[in-house]
Structure 1
Amino acid sequence: MRWGLRWQQQYRRKYADDVLGKGDARGKGDYQIDYEPAPRITEADEKNDRRSLQRAPDRRLYLLLYGAPYGASDKKPVWHFPQKVYENEENMRLCAESALKSVLGGLLHTYFVGNAPMAHVTVGPTEDSPDTPSFKQFFFKSQVIGTSKLSIGKCEDYVWVTKDELMEYFPEKASFFNQMIIS
């Protein structure tokens, strides 16, 4: 007991009274901080500008391209995700990076979440195109970081859509996207 008391006296810090009283004065100044949070509805939301990344700041946006997708026999343009045929890449993630790089021109402002695909779907012949080969389509998750503008190329048109808007473009795959996409 005596040793503990001596240790406390020896190593106890002594602070000046003006330092000890600083915490009591917090928030009691004559200053006022004017803080206004950013609006949840942006100008791009009001204009329904789906080509802008400055929309739906509280939601995830998905890039869709308008053009001829892989596996289309008639090369009729449709809405689809960025895609590429797996050729001689070392792994599937490098193939996905290559697909996105061909559309964006580079991957400077993108981040791929993980090395494995988040989902896949088997695409086969349909009534409209019975001679279409069967193939698997893999989905990788990537994020745009640190920019609000990207130069999208190699397509006729593009849009950034939320999950709910995504269902407008792919109503036949709504149940698949509801399972695949969390929010």
Structure 2
Amino acid sequence: MQRSCKSIATSLITRRQFSSTATKSDEKIIASVLFERLPVVIPKIDPVVYAFQEFSFRWRQQFRRAYPDSFLKKADNRGQGDYNIDYVPAPRVTEADKMNDKKSLQRALDRRLYLLIYGHTYGASGEEPVWHFPEKIYESEGTLRKCAESALKSVIGDLSHTYFVGNAPMGHMIMPPKENDKELSTLKRFIFKSQVIATNKFDIKKGKDFVWVTKDELLEYFPEQAEYLDKMIISL
């Protein structure tokens, strides 16, 4: 005999309530945000790629079609007028690069930068502040994505210059309880990606300090998780 829809629903609700109770007592869920600034200028061409492009150009020049000089002169005159502006590219090396100012978004313009906060975090041993991503423990938010948005908002105050990439986390880490942890709870940290949109400065309102770092620099802040983060973060 088939079970009624009402009995099935009651069973699912009971299981969900039991699972929710177990989660609260045995583990904590944390939403973290990998806040990323994309490259501002085109990265330099790899020497091998540059050598191949130069070879290809010289090879094509050998077999290119010869045009009359009169035609080439007409082509050179196209686009000339009273509104010609000489294009001067922006410098790749900025004052922030020269000063090694890691609080500025105007550094490493051809690389991706990531925001790290210095302060107290969940799961850290002792009471000393550590470097970490913006994060928040999951409480009453409707989804983990909403929790991640709250975490980032508590750091920068306004999300109008941010873009969250998807609704699902890009990775997660499970941290078993430490021996000196009084609560003896397992931490499950889910990492979401968000990107900087059309701004070069944020008012960081949380933590004792902050830095904008490249991927290579970021891995130095997390020696224990460096191998995992290196695989998770795809960056130049």
> How far has the Cα of 1:134 moved from its partner?
1.3
Counterpart residue number, 1:35: 87
Partner AA of 1:112 in structure 2 = F
> How far has the Cα of 1:58 moved from its partner?
1.2
> How far has the Cα of 1:94 moved from its partner?
0.4
> How far has the Cα of 1:105 moved from its partner?
1.0
SS of corresponding position for 2:224: helix
Counterpart residue number, 2:231: 179
Counterpart residue number, 1:8: none
Out of 90, 112, 115, the position equivalent to 2:164 is 112
Deviations 1:66-112 (A, max 9, x none): 00001336321000000100111111110000000011112111110
- Using the alignment, how far apart are the partners of 1:130 and 1:102 within structure 2? 26
Q: Is the 8 A contact 1:69 1:75 kept in 2?
A: no
Does residue 141 of structure 1 match 2:187? no
Counterpart residue number, 2:29: none
- Using the alignment, how far apart are the partners of 1:107 and 1:30 within structure 2? 43
With normalisation by structure 2, the TM-score equals 0.62
Map 1:117-136 → 2, pairs under 5 A? 117-126=169-178, 129=180, 131=182, 133-136=185-188
**C-alpha RMSD over aligned residues:** 2.1
Counterpart residue number, 2:119: 67
What is the aligned residue count?
160
Structure 1 unaligned spans of 5+: 1-22
Out of 71, 79, 102, the position equivalent to 2:154 is 102
Out of 146, 168, 173, the position equivalent to 2:220 is 168
Q: Is the 8 A contact 1:71 1:133 kept in 2?
A: no
The verdict on how the C-alpha distance between 1:126 and 1:41 changes in structure 2, with shifts beyond 3 A counting, is farther
> How far has the Cα of 1:126 moved from its partner?
4.4
- Using the alignment, how far apart are the partners of 1:180 and 1:126 within structure 2? 25
Counterpart residue number, 1:155: 207
Out of 72, 87, 108, the position equivalent to 1:56 is 108
Deviations 1:28-69 (A, max 9, x none): 669864212122221111111000111111111111000000
Partner AA of 2:86 in structure 1 = D
Partner AA of 2:103 in structure 1 = R
Q: Indicate the percent of aligned positions where both proteins have the same amino acid.
A: 64
Greater helix content = 2
- Using the alignment, how far apart are the partners of 2:169 and 2:115 within structure 1? 17
Counterpart residue number, 1:18: none
With normalisation by structure 1, the TM-score equals 0.79
- Using the alignment, how far apart are the partners of 1:36 and 1:143 within structure 2? 28
- Using the alignment, how far apart are the partners of 1:141 and 1:97 within structure 2? 10
